[in-house]
């Protein structure tokens, strides 16, 4: 497998899709990187020369925040929101949706599995 920016990318895929396996690089950035490195986006990752691979790696290192540094930056941003006790930080702390979504129904991804609460027994009388 070719390694770019310290990440193994799939060698059988075209380079425009293989670059997306790097955290922080999506479709637009992948195409921009191919254009800057003068690499045909349709080339398979296994067919790249050492020079092209190093060129792509240097472009990513110089111009993009990826992988561990990006994850760290996101965590620091969330921690800052928590520390200043903002509304968004409070939602992160509670594990609820942050961007104004409804929670009466849905929101299962953020809230987790249902926690069933025992209901009242029927009252006879």
pLDDT digits 0-9 by tens, 66-114: 999 999 999 999 999 999 999 999 999 999 999 999 999 889 999 999 8
Residues 76 and 103 in one domain: yes
d(CA 26, CA 42): 16
pTM for the whole structure: 0.78
Identify the domain containing residue 81 by its residue range: 68-111
d(CA 46, CA 19): 12
Residues 54 and 99 in one domain: no
Residues 32 and 73 in one domain: no
Element (H, E) at 63: helix 50-63
Residue 31 contacts residue 39 (beta carbons within 8 Å): no
d(CA 41, CA 24): 18
Residues 56 and 72 in one domain: no
Residues 84 and 59 in one domain: no
């Amino acid at each position: 497998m070719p390694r770019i920016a310290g990440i193994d990318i799939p060698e059988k895929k075209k380079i425009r899709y293989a670059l997306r396996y790097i955290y922080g690089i999506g479709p637009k950035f992948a195409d921009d990187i191919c254009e800057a490195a003068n690499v045909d986006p349709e080339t398979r990752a296994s067919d790249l020369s050492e020079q092209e691979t190093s060129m792509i790696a240097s472009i990513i290192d110089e111009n993009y925040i990826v992988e561990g540094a990006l994850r760290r930056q996101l965590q620091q941003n969330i921690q800052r929101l928590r520390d200043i006790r903002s509304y968004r930080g409070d939602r992160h702390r509670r594990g609820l949706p942050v961007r104004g979504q409804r929670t009466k129904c849905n929101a299962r991804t953020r809230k987790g599995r249902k926690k069933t609460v025992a209901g009242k027994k029927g009252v006879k009388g």
